[in-house]
Amino acid sequence: MITELNIDGVTSYKSKSTLSPTNKTSLIYGLNGAGKSTISEFLYNHTEPRFAKCSLKTSQPCEILVYNQSFLNDYFYEEDNLKGIFTLSKENKVALQQIEAETKELEKHLTAQQENSKRATENATKLDQEKTKASGKVWEIKTNFTGGDRVLEFCLESLKRTELLFQHIIGLPLPENAPSYTIDGEPREFGKNRTLRFSELS
C-alpha cells in the first residue's frame, strides 16, 4: 500500500504537502480546487516532468490503478457516428483514431477526384464546342472562296465534308514565318500570266 505521498510545486500545492495513509482504504475529500485531482493525476502518471518535486512511498512494490479523466481520455473512445458506444483499450483507441483520420483524408481525395473529373468533362465539352465552331468557320471560308465556277474544286476532291477538311487543315504544319503575300493577289497574277500567254500565241 501507499505509505507516504508528497505533493510539491504543482497546481494548488505551492509548498510541500505530505499524506501518510495508515489504512488500506483512505478517503480524500475537499472543496473544488483543493487538489484532489492533482493527487489522482500524480498517481496516474508520476513520471510526468511537472511532478518532479513529488514523491511517494509504498510498503511493497504494487500496481497503482487510477480511474480519472486522464484514464478516460486514454482508454475510452467514442466514434462521431456512434454516439453512446465506447471502445475500451488504449491500443484500439489509437488505431480507431488513425482509421478515422485516414478515412477523412480519403474522403477529401475522393471529393477532389470527383471535382477534377467534373472539370475535365466540362473542359472536354467546351473543347468539342470550340472545335465544332472552328470547323464550321473553316467550311464557311471554303464555301466563300471556292467560287461559283468551281475551277479549283479538284483540290478539295477528298475533303468535301466539314470534319475532313478541318482535320486536314489543323494537321498541316505551320510556316515559321508569315507569308509575304495574300491570296487576294493570286487571281490577278494568274490573269496576267494567262493574258500574256494568249498574247504570245496570237
- CB burial of residue 184 (10 Å; 0-12, 13-18, 19+): exposed
Query: For all residues of the chain together, what is the average pLDDT?
Result: 81
Note whether 138 and 169 are within 8 A (CB). yes
Q: What is the pLDDT of residue 78?
A: 66
pTM for the model stands at 0.43
Q: Please give the average per-residue pLDDT across 190-196, as a whole number.
A: 53
CA neighbor of 44 nearest in space, from 33, 54, 32: 54
Ranges of each domain in the chain: 2-73, 94-146+154-167
**For residue 200, what pLDDT band results from cuts at 50, 70 and 90?**
very low
Alpha-carbon gap, residue 162 to 36, rounded angstroms: 88
- Determine how β-strand 55-58 pairs with β-strand 86-88: unpaired
Please report, for residues 31, 115, 187, the alpha-carbon distance to residue 182 in angstroms, rounded to integers and kept in the order given. Answer: 100, 47, 11
